[in-house]
Structures are given as structure tokens and as C-alpha cells.
Amino acid sequence: MYTTRVTEKKRARVEEIKKILEEGKGYIFADYRGLTVEQITRLRNELRQQQAILKVVKNRFAKLAFSELEITGLDEVLLGPTVVAVAKEDPAVVAKTIFKYVNETPIKVKAGYIDGQLYGAQQVEAISKLPSRAELLATLMGTMNAPLQNLVYALNGVTTKLVRTLKALADKMEQG
């Protein structure tokens, strides 16, 4: 009876982790040794504002939850104290925030799992330096919009010039 209850509790923990992981579009794994509760709380709050969850996980439970989601290859990553940042939106924004904390605190990024691919700490750092998806879309839209806007100004300029010329001609005819 005792082992059944323990197994049920462990199974419930794995299901809880799995439910959180299912919401993610990407995951950043880090070693949180040396962080104070205040630092973890501050990071957690900042990530929450960016639609991300920071979860301290037991490696064994995390391995089971990830394997149930058919995400493999994390055995080397899930060693030692591990915290997982689950990005519900843009993983690059989450990586940026975490790497901001890397410079201020003892947190160490281990790896990241983004778009179905496992990246090392250096690759995740490179991703963190890229513009976010929203920034890229804004740049793209601005680039696509500029020629159309220039065309509108040019056509408007021709029309305005014609109206001014006709007005000047009408004024001249009235006077003379």
C-alpha cells in the first residue's frame, strides 16, 4: 500500500511537469546552484511577464515527462540541479532574459530545446542575441511597406503639383 501511494505521488509529479511542458514552444535548461531565493523569484517574475514558466525540476521526473512528449536526447542536460524555463511564446526572448541574469548571477545555461532541436549553451546564447520574432516581423513589414509608401508620396506629389498649377493658372486668368 505504501509503495502504491508513493508511486501515485511520483506519477502525479511527472504529469504536473508534463502539463507545463506541453504549453512550451521551447525550453532553456540551466544550473541554478548559487542563486538565492530572491534571485530565482525575480527571474521567475520577469519570465512570467514574457509568457514563460520557470520550474525547478527533479531530473528523473523531467526525463520521464520529456520522454512522454517524445523529446529525447536530454540525458546529458538533465544532470545536477536543473531549472527549466518553458517558453510559451518566443524562446529567443526567454533566452535573452536568462542570459541577462547569467551576467548578474551564478546561473549557468546548460542547453536549450527549440523548434525540435537541442542546442548547447553557446548556441542558445547566440539565439539570445538575435532579434525577437516580433522585431523581425516589424522590420520585414517596414521594409515591405517603404516602397508602397514612397509610391503614394510620389503619386500624391504629382496630384498636388497639378492642383497647384491649375490654381495658379486660374488665379492668373482672374487677374488678367
What is the per-residue pLDDT for 157? 78
CATH of the domain at 10: 3.30.70.1730
Q: Which residue has the cell 530545446?
A: 113
What's residue 6's pLDDT?
Answer: 66
Give SS3 for 77.
coil
Query: Could you tell me if 103 and 149 lie in one domain?
Result: no
Global pTM? Answer: 0.75
The stretch 22-51 carries a mean pLDDT of: 94
pLDDT of 114 higher than 50: yes
Is the pLDDT reported for residue 162 higher than 50? Answer: yes
Q: Are residues 155 and 122 in the same domain?
A: no
* Average confidence (pLDDT) over 20-33: 95
SS (H, E, C) 102-168: HHHCCCEEEEEEECCEEEEHHHHHHHHHCCCHHHHHHHHHHHHHHHHHHHHHHHHHHHHHHHHHHHH
The pLDDT assigned to 58 comes to 94
If one compares 147 and 40, the residue with the highest pLDDT of the two is 40
* Mean pLDDT estimate for the chain: 89
pLDDT, tens digit (0-9, with 9 covering 90-100), for 130-159: 887 778 788 888 788 777 777 777 778 778
Question: Who wins on pLDDT, 25 or 152?
Answer: 25
The vertex-50 CA angle with 46 and 55, nearest 5°, equals 65
The verdict on 137 and 164 lying in the same domain is yes
The answer, yes or no, to whether residue 2 has pLDDT greater than 60, is no
Using pLDDT thresholds of 50, 70 and 90, give the confidence band for residue 1. Answer: very low
Range of the domain at 20: 2-130
pLDDT, tens digit, 9 for 90 and up, residues 65-102: 999 999 999 999 999 999 999 999 999 999 999 999 98
Residue 3's pLDDT band, with cuts at 50, 70 and 90, is low
Please tell me the total count of domains within the chain: 2
Q: Is 79 within 8 Å of 59 (Cβ atoms)?
A: yes
**118 & 158 share domain:** no
Q: Kindly state whether residues 83 and 117 are assigned to the same domain.
A: yes
pLDDT at 169 over 50: yes
Residues 149, 169, single domain; the answer is yes
